[in-house]
Amino acid sequence: GGAFLSVRDLKVRFRTEDGIVKAVNELNFDLEAGKTLGIVGESGSGKSVSNLAVMGLHNPRNTTIEGSIALEGQELLGLPQRELEKLRGNKMAMIFQDSLAALSPYYTIGRQIAEPFMKHTGASKKEGRARAVEMLAKVGIPQPDKRVDSYPHEFSGGMRQRAMIAMSLVCNPKLLIADEPTTALDVTVQAQIVDLLKDLQQEFGTSIIFITHDLGVIREIADDVLVMYAGRAVERGTMREILKTPQHPYGWGLLSSIPRINASVDVPLRPIPGTPPSLLNPPSGCAFNPRCEYRELVIGDKCRTERPPLERADTDGHLSACHLTPAQKQSILTEQILPR
Ligand code: SF4
Ligand code: MG
């Protein structure tokens, strides 16, 4: 395939004291150059784990990974740590929800931004500092030539998130993985960070994987969307398809749990009832079946006995994994979900 990033049949397993956790199962996706793939799901759905595997940041002592992760045609699985380190920060970078954990309290913001740049380019300290000032300006930090000498605790949460973005983009990586980067921030700052990422993507041509539990954020940034549940892709499509004509009961649940910006009346949010399953011992059949309010519509006991394959939904590229018939999905969508 010619995709910029291509993940095939990815399986991630953890050994724990209680047994094997099947964290990611037969996951497939492509990311095109310069585009944003949103990966959405609750915590424990495998969205972070699969991307830590892409970055090679999993713990090799208790984790096994199978399948293929190809970045511009280069297979990443099985690369020695030394090779992965060269790629990390340089060709691919990751930002996290918790900027306090990602930034060291003991070094200035400027030094932490300059470090990967100096490491990967051989730039001098002075050049590194100048680059840090430039990056702080790009991410919208006021008075960057002064703030470059600040410590993380002297920044607000939103500013630290910007600094972390500056640090991740300092070597102009082609791939940026953003794992819930706005989750800890208030709504206004969230929107600013999303806008910032979009601007930087325009400027640098970065391909982005944006991981979130919030379909509302996906709407703002993603071109394509992968919905994960219990370590599997349950739906995949364009952002428009996932938001306008979702084809999976879990996607319907996510849709009902985001605020409608265009609603003329306040539509109450409906959180999805129940909790995600344990991946030590996932439910048989469709992993969503214990929480699914539509399983009785499926003939026989199929939802509890047969895992639904990820297959074509309403359009070519739109896939969903659910035993409901296309006609059933269509009528539930138009009669129950969209009017909410
Ligand atoms: Fe619900 Fe059955 Fe579809 Fe799973 S396969 S989402 S349980 S209807
Ligand atoms: Mg996570």
Ligand 1, atom 8: closest residue by C-alpha: 295
Strand order in the sheet with 311-312: 92-95, 175-179, 207-212, 36-40, 224-229, 232-238, 319-320, 311-312
User: Is 70 exceeded by the pLDDT of residue 106?
Assistant: yes
Asked if 29 contacts 7 with a C-beta cutoff of 8 angstroms, the reply is yes
Atom of ligand 1 nearest to the CA of 234: 6
Structure-token pair, residue 144:
């960057």
Residues within 6 Å of ligand 1 by CB: 248-249, 286, 288-289, 292, 294-295, 298, 303, 308, 322-324
Asked if 39 contacts 209 with a C-beta cutoff of 8 angstroms, the reply is yes
Nearest bound ligand to the CA of residue 212: 2
Distance 142 CA to ligand 2 centre (A): 31
* Domain annotation covers residue 73: no
* Residue corresponding to tokens 């999805």: 272
Boundary-marking domain end, from 172, 205, 231? 172
Ligand 1, atom 7: closest residue by C-alpha: 289
Pocket test for ligand 1, best of 292, 301, 311, 337 (most atoms within 8 A of CB): 292
* Domain annotation covers residue 7: no
Q: What percent of the chain has pLDDT over 90?
A: 72
Where does the pLDDT of residue 142 fall: very low under 50, low under 70, confident under 90, or very high at 90 and above?
very high
User: Is 80 exceeded by the pLDDT of residue 271?
Assistant: no
CA dist., res. 202 & res. 188, Å (int): 21
* Domain annotation covers residue 53: no
User: Is 70 exceeded by the pLDDT of residue 269?
Assistant: no
* Interacting residues of 259 by C-beta distance below 8 A, sequence separation 6+: 216, 267, 269
Distance 335 CA to ligand 1 centre (A): 18
pLDDT of residue 264: 46
CA dist., res. 63 & res. 188, Å (int): 38
Number of domains in the chain: 2
Q: Which domain holds residue 286?
A: 247-337
Pocket test for ligand 1, best of 303, 329, 332 (most atoms within 8 A of CB): 303
* Domain annotation covers residue 199: no
Q: Indicate the SS3 state at residue 256.
A: helix
DSSP-derived secondary structure letter, 221: H
User: Is 80 exceeded by the pLDDT of residue 151?
Assistant: yes
Distance 61 CA to ligand 2 centre (A): 20
Mean predicted confidence (pLDDT) in 209-235: 94
Pocket test for ligand 1, best of 229, 324, 330, 333 (most atoms within 8 A of CB): 324
The angle subtended at Cα 247 by Cα 244 and Cα 249, nearest 5°, is: 110
Boundary-marking domain end, from 119, 152, 172? 172
Distance 301 CA to ligand 2 centre (A): 32
* Domain annotation covers residue 177: no
* Domain annotation covers residue 135: yes
Global confidence as pTM: 0.93
Phi and psi angles of residue 30, each rounded to the nearest 5 degrees, phi first? -125, 150
* Residue corresponding to tokens 């990443």: 76
Whether ipTM exceeds 0.90: yes
Asked if 304 contacts 233 with a C-beta cutoff of 8 angstroms, the reply is no
pLDDT of residue 183: 82
Atom of ligand 1 nearest to the CA of 293: 1
* Domain annotation covers residue 281: yes
Structure-token pair, residue 213:
């539990």
* Domain annotation covers residue 124: yes
Boundary-marking domain end, from 154, 172, 190? 172
Where does the pLDDT of residue 259 fall: very low under 50, low under 70, confident under 90, or very high at 90 and above?
low
Residues lying with their CB under 5 A of ligand 2, a single-atom ion: 48
Asked if 270 contacts 226 with a C-beta cutoff of 8 angstroms, the reply is no
Category of 322 on φ-ψ map: left (φ > 0), alpha (ψ -120 to 50) or beta: beta
Asked if 159 contacts 141 with a C-beta cutoff of 8 angstroms, the reply is yes
CA dist., res. 256 & res. 252, Å (int): 6
Asked if 251 contacts 258 with a C-beta cutoff of 8 angstroms, the reply is no
Q: Using DSSP, how many helices (H) and how many strands (E) does the chain show?
A: 13, 12
CA dist., res. 199 & res. 203, Å (int): 6
User: Is 90 exceeded by the pLDDT of residue 315?
Assistant: no
Nearest bound ligand to the CA of residue 50: 2
